[in-house]
Structure 1
Amino acid sequence: MPLRAVISVSSAALLLAGLSACGSSTDDSTTGEQAGGSGLQLVSAGDLTVCSDVPYPPFEDFDKAAPSGFKGFDIDVISYVAEQLDLDLVVKDSDFDALQSGLALNAGQCDMVASALTITDARKEKLGFSDGYYDSQQSLLVRSDSGITGIDGLAEKKVGVQKGSTGEIYANENVKDADIVSFPSDAQMYAAIKAGQVDALLQDLPVNLGHQEDPEQGGAFTVAETYDTDEQYGFAFKKTNTSLIAEVDDALQDMRSSGDYQTVYDSYFKTS
């Protein structure tokens, strides 16, 4: 069953200070009337219910020691947003394909998606998006001793991608004469390359960098190549939930203006 965790507003404040910083099966939503969110369409009054595909470090991961049971860049950013909206944050672990397709939102499982989700024209046809909150690149992870130095060396190789991701789209458009293997999650992709079942992983750069730096692997993997794709991550919503989208955009702008966004960003990503 999806893992569910609640983080209180006070806990979110403590988390951000330290850094600077299963659902309903219907499509019904309620209007927030309690701790916060007055006038917003929410699946549970007083809560900001967020779906995320976990693990996908450094953006989201499990953490039993954390108040929410989760950690990561997306979790910290959306904790700030929940605090600004005077809502408790509820995080649900969900399948990525259900998130990017809009199925989870339309089923009333959550108010929004926070899951390293790239804003694309195709996705905007079925989802509403916040302003972009992270610029990303695609990348190719290979075994350090593989001799593969880039996308041109993948002929007759097996390349792992995540189903429904922009990495899958990029691979299908740019990788020639290779066997592209789709997986439901990064965890399964990473297990496959460690087991020798695939020769490379094509996905978001920060995630592949995490695998490259995995201390348990002792440098067994390396990012062979990166690809500029002008991608931006955004938080996703039902297209009709315009009031919530506007409130989240305002909170993101406040986070940037206050300097808290940069503090959280610097704690997760190399800046030089």
Structure 2
Amino acid sequence: MRTRSKFVAAVALAAVGGLALSGCTSTAGDSKLIDSASLTACSEAQYPPFERPEGDKIVGIDADISSEIAKDLGVDLKQVNTAFEGLQSGQDLDNKKCDIAISAITINDERKTKMDFSEPYFHDDLAVVVPKGSSVTSADQALDGTHTIAVQDATTGQEYVTGKGLQPQGFEDATLAATQVSNGSLDVLIDQVAPASEHLKNFDNLQMVATIPTGESYGIAVRKGNSELLDSVNKTLKRIQGDGTLQSIFDKYGVKATA
């Protein structure tokens, strides 16, 4: 989920100012933050519409949700761009690189052993993306063993393909994976539907020919045992789901809400 090896050097980005509302009572002291004045959020920034780099900031659905969490805590938001492997493995949380990992991370049993997850905020399936004019018109054809497949490393897309006994070519980010299919180097991209739809906006020679129902749910992760912060995250998710803020965020980025 991009070539971003230089950009992904886990550099803390500028704090988003003005998030602490005047008169708001901060609860950050009860939430075991790395820095009591900031919520440090790690994302892999090349995965639009959930995150993408814009200047010295990360913008997108997950960035906007992070801002809402920071606002409710009464602190600033500090963004860190880092490789997805460190997020989905829980390593960045354990090493205290960040307080929350928020990067379209699918909740699954293996990841639950390494980190604690919030309630889901988005649900998605996998998509099959090919160049226009491709002979591949279904998921069965894409996965029949005769086509080269691009995936992002450490993702559920990669897990799904390898689970079929195939050996996809993994890339550090999804945009780079999509580029390989767009330029004809590889035949098929397997990615989640929401980001795959974004690829179609950026690569006009690609098309989505099928979806693979997986019922994946995205969650926000915290270090194991950080129940105070997890409670705060869930309270914010409940608020933004109830007051329409989350729907507004999805609308802003042209994503159909499924949470």
TM-score range, shorter chain: 0.7 to 0.9
Could you state the TM-score of these two structures normalised by the residue count of structure 1? Answer: 0.84
Percent identical among aligned pairs is: 27
1:2 and 1:39 map into 2 onto residues whose CA distance is 26
Deviation at 1:2, TM superposition (A): 2.3
Mapping 1:145-224, distance limit 5 Å: 145-154=133-142, 155-174=145-164, 179-214=167-202, 217=203, 219-224=204-209
Q: Does 1:229 align with 2:214?
A: yes
Identify if the C-alpha distance between structure 1 residues 270 and 115 changes in structure 2 by more than 3 Å, giving closer, same or farther.
Answer: closer
Moved over 4 A (4+): none
Q: Is 1:94–2:82 an aligned residue pair?
A: yes
Rounded to whole Å, the distance in 2 between the matches of 1:55 and 1:270 is 17
Aligned-pair distance for 1:141?
A: 0.7
Instruction: Give the C-alpha shift of residue 190 in structure 1.
Output: 2.0
Amino acid paired to 2:207: T
Number of residues of Structure 1 aligned to a counterpart in Structure 2: 244
SS in 1 for 2:209: strand
C-alpha separation in 2, matches of 1:12 and 1:62: 23
Deviation at 1:182, TM superposition (A): 1.4
Quickly say closer, same or farther: Cα 1:210–1:12, change in 2 above 3 A: farther
Kindly report which structure 2 residues correspond to 1:37-76, keeping only aligned pairs within 5 A, or say none.
37-64=28-55, 69-76=57-64
Q: What are the superposed Cα offsets for residues 64-118 of structure 1, whole Å, 9 maximum, x if unpaired?
A: 2xxx612101111111111011111111110101110011111110011010000
Q: Report the aligned-residue RMSD.
A: 2.0
Contact 1:119 1:129 in 2 (8 A): yes
Gaps of 5+ in 2: 1-8
Give the alignment's TM-score, normalised by structure 2. 0.88
DSSP-derived class of the 1:45 partner: coil
Distance in 2 of aligned mates of 1:9 and 1:270: 26
Structure 2 residue 145 is matched with structure 1 residue 137:
no
- Please tell me whether the aligned partners of residues 4 and 91 of structure 1 are also in contact (alpha carbons under 8 angstroms): yes
**Alignment-mate amino acid for residue 47 of structure 1:** S
Shift of 1:52: 0.5
| Separation in structure 2 between the aligned mates of residue 195 and residue 93 of structure 1, nearest angstrom | 27
